[in-house]
Every structure is written in structure tokens, then in C-alpha cells.
């Protein structure tokens, strides 16, 4: 016999700084939130080692431990954390319907989306093996650890240009690996890169392998015009070829930009669907930091509380 749907005041889809912060605020506002972690509880911070730029941790903290702290705080105020994936949604009507991978149906008066985004990788075995051992997808997060050392960054868009400029302030040499004979970055960003003496742009260059056993020691590259192979000695390797927001589940219901980031209204977390709010990297393609994700999680919970109060549900 099919179980009857579960009705909740506030459903949070996704964990990580945004989801857990939303849960803390929603629980303290007596919204009785239920949070579904998804298949990667804690999000990108679960594959991050040292986090040194989050306020309140003067000695730094390991990413997984930080997410454990967030989860405990959310549960302390009564959040029901469930380790399952939401596989289907119908975000319309006065009650939003969602289904878990196991087939459980939930009707939610409000939904907070905090499904995050995933960095795009090159797909190399050495990239996985040396993750957090010199390989990173966030120069702003990890560049500090490579002060005074040579690094490489792969990518040719605005993100790669911005991150190479950031690294150039910390590192004596930044090798920028661009696979074409031009960048996709905006003209002004290209000019800044080309006018920065310690950024060396390697055109028509693709990464064959990241070198090193326990730590990155270099990168082997190939010129895709001449087929010449060379090695560049570096201590850090940054991948800046973009992120993919984890928002496919909501296509057809929510307004998104051309790359899949959920669009929110003004300075709020409100989406185009009443009672549905978006937070964290699912809607932020600019900052993508743990602290900004947490801030938007707070906003989403406050927006949800006001919405439910106006509707007379709480």
C-alpha cells in the first residue's frame, strides 16, 4: 500500500554551508525543517582539507570537520537531517511536491534549494590522486598555501583570468595554460593578464599529466599545434574551466541563466515560483565561497519564514 504524502512547512534540498545555515535559522524559527543531504553530504567542503578563511576558526579547520560542526548545530535546534537524494520535483501550486530516490512523497509549503555547484575537471587520473595535494579548483580558497611558489592554472575564461591575477600577487610565476591561441575572457581581463609580468601564458597548450607522487611537482603539457611535449615544474595546479550548478532537477520550473544557475529576485533568495527559495552556489556564479553560501542560506530561511507567516502557516 502506498504511504500517504508527508506534509512539511520547510524542506531544504542539499547540504553544505548554505543548506545547513538555512536549517539553523529555519529550526530556530520553529519551521520544523527537514533537510535532505543529497548524495554528497556537506558538498564541496567534504573534499577540501584546510579551510583558513572562514570566520570563527582562528587556527583553520578541515572541511569535513567544519561541515560536521554545521550539521550538529542544525540538528541541535531540531532539524531532521535525512541522508537521501531528492530525485523528482513538481514546484507548482500552493504545495510543492518532491519525491526521494526511494519513492517517498513530500508536500512542502516552502522549499529552500541549496544543491550547490560542482567544479569541472580535466578528467585526469593524476588530478584525482593529487586533489588537495597541490591540485585545486579554487585559487581564492587555496592560493594562500602556495605563497612564494610557482603554480600553473588551466583555463582561458574570465574565471581563469581572475584567478591567475589573484595568484600573481602571491606567487613568483603563474603559468597559464590556454588550449587555444586566444582567451575567452573579456578584453579587459585579457589586458590585465597580459600586462602582469609574472603571468606566463602558454598558448595552444593542453595538460597531459600532473606530476608528483604525494605532492604536485610539475605538469606535463603538449602544444596541440606542434605536438611538442614539455614539463613545467610547479607546486600548485589550479583548474579554472568552470563550474556546473547542480540544478538539473529544477529545470522547467525555475528561471535560470544560460549555464543553469537559478535566478533570484533582487537582493532576496526568492525564485520565480512562490514559496521556493535558492541559496549558495546553485544561484551564485560569482563568489562561490563557504561564507557567502552560508549568508545566502540565512537569507533563504528568513525569506521562507516571512513567506510562511504571510500565508498563515506559522
Catalytic residue among 32, 50, 80, 142: 142
Catalytic residue among 141, 171, 281, 298: 141
| Contacts for 244 with CB less than 8 Å, ≥ 6 apart | 117, 118, 120, 259, 260
Given a contact cutoff of 8 angstroms between Cβ atoms, the answer to whether 314 and 31 are in contact is yes
Bridge partners of residue 244, in order along the sequence: 118
Buried b (16+ CB within 10 A) or exposed e, 37-75: bbebbbbbbbebbbbeebeeeeeebebbebbeebbeebb
**120: helix, strand or coil:** coil
Q: What is the DSSP letter of 283?
A: T
Q: Which three cell numbers stand for residue 36?
A: 535532505
Is residue 138 part of the annotated active site? The answer reads yes
* Gyration radius (Cα) of the chain, Å: 21
Is residue 141 part of the annotated active site? The answer reads yes
Given a contact cutoff of 8 angstroms between Cβ atoms, the answer to whether 155 and 241 are in contact is yes
- CA 83 to CA 70: how far, in whole Å? 15
Catalytic residue among 10, 138, 171, 298: 138
CA 52 → CA 43, 143, 167, 197, 290, distances in Å?
17, 11, 17, 28, 11
CA-closest candidate to residue 66, choices 78, 48, 80, 79: 48
Is residue 10 part of the annotated active site? The answer reads no
Residues recorded for the chain: 314
- CA 126 to CA 89: how far, in whole Å? 37
With residue 231 as reference, give the H or E element that holds it. strand 229-232
Active centre residues (catalytic): 138, 141-142
Amino acid at each position: 500500500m502506498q504511504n500517504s504524502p508527508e506534509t512539511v512547512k520547510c524542506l531544504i534540498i542539499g547540504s553544505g554551508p548554505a543548506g545547513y545555515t538555512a536549517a539553523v535559522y529555519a529550526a530556530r524559527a520553529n519551521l520544523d525543517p527537514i533537510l535532505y543531504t543529497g548524495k554528497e553530504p556537506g558538498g564541496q567542503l567534504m573534499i577540501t582539507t584546510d579551510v583558513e578563511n572562514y570566520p570563527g576558526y582562528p587556527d583553520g579547520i578541515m572541511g569535513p570537520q567544519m561541515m560536521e560542526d554545521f550539521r550538529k548545530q542544525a540538528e541541535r535546534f531540531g532539524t531532521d537531517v535525512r541522508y537521501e537524494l531528492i530525485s523528482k520535483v513538481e514546484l507548482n501550486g500552493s504545495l510543492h511536491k518532491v519525491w526521494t530516490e526511494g519513492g517517498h512523497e513530500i508536500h512542502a509549503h516552502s522549499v529552500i534549494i541549496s544543491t550547490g555547484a560542482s567544479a569541472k575537471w580535466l578528467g585526469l587520473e593524476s588530478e584525482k590522486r593529487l586533489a588537495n595535494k597541490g591540485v585545486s579548483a579554487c585559487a581564492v580558497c587555496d592560493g594562500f598555501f602556495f605563497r612564494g611558489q610557482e603554480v600553473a592554472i588551466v583555463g582561458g575564461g574570465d574565471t581563469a583570468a581572475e584567478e591567475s591575477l589573484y595568484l600573481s600577487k602571491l606567487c613568483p610565476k603563474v603559468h597559464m595554460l590556454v588550449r587555444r591561441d586566444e582567451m575567452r575572457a573579456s578584453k579587459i581581463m585579457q589586458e590585465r593578464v597580459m600586462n602582469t609580468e609574472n603571468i606566463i601564458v602558454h598558448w595552444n597548450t593542453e595538460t597531459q599529466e600532473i606530476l608528483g607522487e604525494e605532492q604536485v611537482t610539475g605538469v606535463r603539457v603538449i602544444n596541440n599545434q606542434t605536438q611538442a611535449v614539455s614539463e613545467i615544474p610547479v607546486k600548485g595546479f589550479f583548474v579554472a574551466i568552470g563550474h556546473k550548478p547542480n540544478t538539473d532537477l529544477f529545470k522547467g520550473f525555475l528561471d535560470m541563466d544560460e549555464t543553469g544557475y537559478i535566478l533570484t529576485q533582487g537582493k532576496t533568495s526568492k525564485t520565480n515560483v512562490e514559496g521556493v527559495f535558492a541559496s549558495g552556489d546553485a544561484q551564485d556564479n560569482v563568489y562561490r565561497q563557504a561564507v557567502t553560501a552560508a549568508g545566502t542560506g540565512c537569507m533563504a530561511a528568513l525569506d521562507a519564514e516571512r513567506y510562511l507567516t504571510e500565508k498563515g502557516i506559522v
